[in-house]
Amino acid sequence: ELLGVPEVGRESSFFLLGGDSLVATRMIGRLRAAGYPAARVADLFARPVLRHFCETLHPRAATGAQPAPAAAPVLVPDPDRAHEPFPLTDVQAAYHTGRDPRLTLGGVGTWHYTEVDGTDVDLDRLERAWNALVRRHGMLRAVVEEGQQRVLPDVPPVRIPVADAPAGDAAEALAALRARLSQQVRDPARWPLFAIEAVRHHDGGAARTRVGIGLDYLVLDALSLTTLYAELTALYTDPEHELPPVDVSFRDYVTGLPTDPESAERARAHWRERLSELPPPPSLPLDRDPAALDAPVFTRRRLSLPAEDWRAVRRRAARHGLTPSTVLLALYAEVLETWSGTDAVTVTLTLFDRRDVHPHIHRVLGDFTTLSLAGHRREGASWLAAAVALQRRQAEDLDHLDVPADWLLREFGRRTGTVDAAAPVVFTSAVGVGDATLAGPGTGFPEKVWGISQSPQVCLDNQVTEESGNLVVTWDAVEELFPEGVLDAMFGAYERLLRHVVAADWGAPLPGPVPAAHLGRRAAAAREAALEPVVPRPLHRAFFARARTAPDRTALVTTAGREMTYGALADRALRTAAALGDAGVAPGDLVAVTLPKGPEQIAAVLGVLAAGAAYVPLSLDQPAARRERVRATAAFDVVLGDWPAAGATAPRALSGTDTQGHEPLAAPADPSPEALAYVIFTSGSTGEPKGVQITHAAAWNTIADINARHGIGADDRVFALSALDFDLSVYDVFGLLGAGGSLLLPTEDQRREPARWPGLVDRHGVTVWNTVPALLDLLLDADEQEAPEGGRIAGLRTALVSGDWIGLDLPGRLRRRTARPCVFAAMGGATEAAVWSNSLTVEEPDPRWVSIPYGRPLTGQHYRVADRDGRDCPDWTPGELWIGGAGLARGYLGDPARTAEKFVERDGRRWYRTGDLGRFRADGLLEFLGRLDSQLKIAGHRIEAGEIEAALESHPAVARAAVVAVGERTAKRLAAFAVPHEPAHAEPAGAVEPGTPAADPDLTGSLFALLAERVPGYAVPSRIRLLPALPLTANGKVDRAALAGLAGPDTESVAAQPPHGGTETALAALWSEHLPHWTPDRNANFFTAGGDSLAALRLLTAIERRLGAAVPARRFFAAPTVAALAADITRTLAAHGTAYETGEL
């Protein structure tokens, strides 16, 4: 009966007979009514063969009696009360609340719009048919008032307005019809909750009529829409057609459906456990904050899979024990995960749950839907395994639908930290509900030509239906939320996956979803940025060639005024090489360099290479234990400089005096470009130093590109701030000396005294700046403090800035203080890829940037953004940055396991996995988003610290900001730090919470208010601390570990804190009205205490009415405590108090 097949045998399979989740839920409902209370969808899906499923069934009676026959209908119609108010369902209430414009993605209704068009359309007949349906179906006469719905006993006849489009001007009239009807937000308290209009127009000389029909599905579900249009077609085709009776109403269903408290409690218990394991909702690339949209506008994308192909998919799904809807949902999740940069997502499901409680119930119009949640997780490379697991979980969930939808979504929102629009990505499958074709051939009913739907608090809804045997997929989405091209790319990927599963092997991995156009744009951008290929050569060859041709040119300058020429430096280097040879150093050996910054250090490095060896830079400031671990790994026998530990096993230390007593070599060694040039040890995640092995060819590829790209030459001089064991020093030494330029060498003390840098730059004619962003910021700060109107760094012409986030203000500040102006080159890369691998010359930062992008690859280098499975990520989607090409290191010295882990082969090319997070923009530019292993993730949401920092730095009183995540893994929170322009505002210690006094409560409060306007609620830090300066690491990067220490433990008291002051006391009283069981606590979270979005809106309305302050909902959602709300209200009232002057007129 339910499957519509003539015969079912013991060996028949539910899926092979065409079963799906809709049939399954109906079947289980009937079995339970027939005396099998333990019948479960999960058992049916797990054991779909009839005889196997029957083994799971046990009758209610344990006496051996035969099970009771199928129960009679349990719903008794009550026509006498048909027009009395009755409650909204949970889903209706959620839709009704969600349309409130104060909520994120609110301001839209539940609206389904369709246009039909045809010749010889009889509008009078259509009008009569429509009015007949209004009389037949009570929910077409429904209104919603004060949280309840009511069917009006009588309504005026519906008239269809019709407009005649002027000849040759049909397009404008049709566009006006669509604009007028397609995005309506009807007042649910005023009938009708539908709209129907027509336009007569001409197309190629033929007279046609376009009819637009809009329906508020606050009162109708998908089956209702299918039924409505089927009956409308029937009455239009034959006005005398007799429709089957409908002797029950939606009101009867809502008010008369039996309740089962035990089943409801079992369902809640099931979902409490399920919610704890659900992944977060999709984190799709967004172009703007959803909360910033006043009135979302939906657009539609549509595709059709031919009936033959759709039958093939259904057959294959059945053979694998899957429903067609599960296959469609699994492929949808694969696309969502790809564009979210993750391997697991949760989507909202729209389910159709009409219980078989009356023979006519499937003819009733009404909103019988319920909402559920489905979590999908990739299972390695097998999409099929993931789909099977998805269906298993769904089957378990279908056995526990007796749970309020608003409770489910609210609990999910609490767990993910998003109360407002907690799960805005939706999957709606009407497969099996009925044929959605509006009119069959020969009916005379006009053909459907366009449609759209919209829902509040939704950003993307994937709707799948069947029309005349074809599968029809429509995506209705809020277009303006997403970067241009993202939705098209996602929809195209979904279509490719659908067409793939028609005939491909389901056991094989899915094809890559990234569009070929994305990869093509990246390749084109890289080709455009590349210069002439670099010819490999030894790293030191260019310097010694310069020394031969121009020995009297200045190579090194100290801040004390000492100069060293190319000739003198080459002589020292060759003497050092000779000394190393005499000490037993052979080509290819490693030699440590521990000398402090100065001419002797540079000569030592050049001398090591001239001896054919490779240098290992080491700072004697580092802990002895680390130094010994480096020695153990590198196994060097000779050190140029000091070595603190003496003894028989200590390396031989050669001082400058030791080396300069030797006769210089006649010529430097000329090793193969593939020979090792240096090994720099970086910090490993395990605490064990990693020795990165860089060849001459790899380093020279980077240096040659930068020199050519920026025209670095003999007149240039770099301020060599970087320590030798930081790889920016590689360019300082070999970049400038290879181009005939020179280095200014500060003392170790001067490296740490930024106030002196502008004077040194000016006095010694520095033209090239090469540091991390924080050090450039310190230079600019010092110059601005010393001379606000014009400083001492005007001679800089090239700034190479890399190694960390680059603030958007740096290019402009630098340009204003330099004469040429200075070229600002933003770069990035890794020590494992020879200093840099990408560059972007910045003139005017794009106002949409959060930070300066990475740019494009350098010559001979390549980039990928890869997901966790090593597949390319689409544009705008974050993933791990992989570097390939000529700059790659050999690997890690003495660590083949780590080398194999980080240096991988893919598609015939070797790559280094950086551990950095990045993404490609649509124009092929790379963006750096931070470290993958230190990515901020709060309550399941991936948070980009740079976005919050950029918002804080946009405040006119803030110079710098940083954000870190602190706390246990299961209770992470954000802490923010801001450096005011006025140091007096900084606090010496302590942290500030929203609404808590601070060193500058006004500034701190305005920062919280700013963040509430700029970033999602879950991204608002719990504390903001004002500091005189951000702590930096030895290499000049922001020391985030130190900031995490400054954030301190979470000091919130476990005990409730009573309200402080009059405003907080008044607010606490209002809270008590909306949270009856709430214990007054100024720091309690409104939503954790039992509130929901509807209660929040009522609270804010009461606050505006009683306290005279209008607080935007999104600001309250960002900081939902009495303390924060009181601070917000105080600021609002103060602002209003100063906005007007009063006096006698």
Using the predicted structure, report yes or no on whether residue 181 has a pLDDT greater than 70: yes
HSE-CB for 160 with a 13 A CA cutoff: 24
Q: Which residues pair with 373 in a beta bridge?
A: 348
Kindly state the average pLDDT of the residues 331-357: 92
- Is 689 part of any domain? no
Contacts of 282 (CB under 8 A, 6+ apart): 336, 337, 339, 340, 345, 347, 425
**Whether the Cβ atoms of residue 568 and residue 554 lie closer than 8 Å to each other:** no
Q: Is residue 516 domain-resident?
A: no
- Does residue 427 share a domain with residue 325? yes
Cα dihedral 410/414/416/418 (nearest 10): 70
Query: What number of other Cβ atoms are within 10 A of residue 36's Cβ?
Result: 19
Residue 136, pLDDT > 80, answer: yes
Q: How far apart are CA 137 and CA 151, in angstroms?
A: 9
- Sequence length of the chain is 1145
Q: 276 vs 318, 406, 415, 1079, CA distance in Å? A: 31, 17, 8, 26
pLDDT surpassing 60 at residue 7: yes
> 620 to each of 563, 593, 1096, how far by Cα in Å?
26, 10, 60
Same domain, 1092 and 1032: no
The yes-or-no verdict on residue 68 having pLDDT over 50 is no
Separation CA 133–CA 246 (nearest Å)? 12
Closest CA to 149 of 87, 209, 234: 87
Task: Give me the mean pLDDT over the 858-883 stretch.
Answer: 94
Residue 824 is assigned to a structural domain of this protein: no
pLDDT in tens, 492-521: 999 999 999 999 999 998 998 899 999 999
Q: How many domains does the chain have?
A: 6
pLDDT score for 984: 59
Give the list of residues 6+ apart from residue 72 with CB closer than 8 angstroms, or none: none
Q: Residue 465 domain-assigned?
A: yes
Are the CB atoms for 44 and 14 separated by under 8 Å? Answer: yes
CA separation for the pair 391, 330 (Å, rounded) = 9
pLDDT digits (tens, 9 = 90+) for 611-643: 999 999 998 877 787 888 899 999 999 999 999
Q: Is the dihedral of CA 245, 249, 252, 257 positive or negative?
A: positive
Q: Which of 109-113, 669-673, 898-902, 1015-1019 has the lowest mean pLDDT?
A: 1015-1019
Phi, psi of 418 (to 5 degrees): -130, 95
User: Which CATH number characterizes residue 621's domain?
Assistant: 3.40.50.980
* Over residues 740-750, mean pLDDT: 94
pLDDT at position 533 is 95
The mean of the pLDDT values for the chain is: 88
839 within some domain = no
Specify if 1109 maps to a domain: yes
Confidence band of 472 (pLDDT split at 50, 70, 90)? very high
- Give me the pLDDT at residue 368, please: 93
State the amino acid at position 36 in one-letter form.
Y
Same domain, 984 and 1007: yes
Q: Is the pLDDT of residue 660 over 70?
A: yes
Same domain, 55 and 112: no
Which is higher by pLDDT, 70 or 165? 165
pLDDT value at 228 more than 90: yes
* Contacts of residue 1010, Cβ cutoff 8 Å, sequence gap at least 6: 951, 952, 954, 955
Together in a domain, 472 and 621: no
Mean pLDDT (whole number) for 675-704 = 89
Confidence of residue 420 (pLDDT cuts 50, 70, 90): low
CA distance 1053 to 1060: 15
- Domain boundary pick from 72, 106, 126: 72
**Do 236 and 104 sit in the same domain of this protein?**
yes
515/492 Cα distance (integer angstroms): 8
Domain check: are 1091 and 944 in the same one?
no
Q: What is the model's pLDDT at position 1042?
A: 87
How much is the pLDDT for 1053? 39
- Average pLDDT over every residue of 756-782: 94
Return the CATH number at 400: 3.30.559.30
pTM of the model: 0.83
pLDDT in the model for residue 1080: 83
Q: Answer yes or no: do 321 and 419 share one domain.
A: yes
* Torsion-angle region of 829 (φ positive above 0: left; ψ -120 to 50: alpha; else: beta): left
Judge if 284 and 370 occupy the same domain.
yes
pLDDT score for 1016: 58
Regarding whether 301 and 222 lie in a shared domain, the answer is no
pLDDT at position 824: 96
What local confidence, expressed as pLDDT, does residue 999 receive? 62
Kindly report the CA angle at 957 between 952 and 961, in degrees rounded to 5? 35
Confidence of residue 794 (pLDDT cuts 50, 70, 90): very high
pLDDT of residue 523: 92
- State which of 18, 45, 72 marks the end of a domain: 72
* pLDDT attached to residue 440: 60
**Residue 882, in any domain of the structure:** no
Please state which of the ranges 112-116, 293-297, 940-944, 1081-1085 shows the lowest mean pLDDT.
940-944
Q: What is the DSSP string of 1054-1097?
A: SS-----HHHHHHHHHHHHHH-TTPPP-TT--TTTTT--HHHHH
- 177 pLDDT band (50/70/90 cuts)? very high
The angle subtended at Cα 1118 by Cα 1113 and Cα 1120, nearest 5°, is: 80
Segment among 233-247, 407-421, 688-702 with least mean pLDDT: 407-421
Q: Kindly report, residue by residue over 1007-1044, the tens digit of the pLDDT.
A: 887 887 666 555 778 788 899 888 987 777 788 888 88
Whether residue 103 is found in the same domain as residue 213: yes
Give the sheet arrangement for strand 856-857, strand by strand.
563-565, 554-558, 742-745, 717-719, 768-771, 798-802, 823-828, 838-842, 856-857
Give all strands (DSSP E) within 306-362, no chain letters.
344-352
Residues whose CB falls within 8 Å of the CB of residue 674, separated by 6 or more in sequence, listed in order: 536, 695, 696, 697
pLDDT tens digits for 931-988?
A: 776 556 554 445 667 778 888 988 989 988 988 887 654 346 788 999 998 765 555 5
Q: Identify the CA nearest to 741 among candidates 722, 720, 762, 772.
A: 720
CB neighbour list of residue 965: distance below 8 Å, 6 or more residues apart: 936, 937, 938, 943, 972, 973, 974, 975, 1044
Greater confidence (588 vs 982) lies with: 588
Number of helices followed by number of strands (H, E) in the chain = 34, 40
Question: Which domain CATH number covers 1000?
Answer: 3.30.300.30
Residue 698 in domain: no
Please report the beta strands in 479-580, taking only residues with DSSP state E, as ranges in sequence order: 554-558, 563-565
As a whole number of angstroms, the distance between CA 451 and CA 99 comes to 21
Q: What DSSP state is assigned to residue 734?
A: I
Residue 1085's CATH number? 1.10.1200.10
pLDDT value at position 62? 47
Give the end of a domain, one of 252, 284, 310.
252
Token pair recorded at residue 868: 């966790």
Model pLDDT, residue 1022: 73
Domain residues for the domain of 43 are 1-72
The string of DSSP letters for 396-450 reads HHHTT--S-HHHHHHHHHHHHT--TTS--EEEEE-TTT-B--S--TTS-PPEEEE
- pLDDT value at residue 860: 96
Separation of alpha carbons 390 and 286, rounded Å: 27
pLDDT reported for residue 1036 = 73
Backbone dihedral angles phi then psi of residue 865, each to the nearest 5 degrees: -115, 115
pLDDT of residue 1142: 42
Q: Are residues 297 and 391 in the same domain?
A: yes
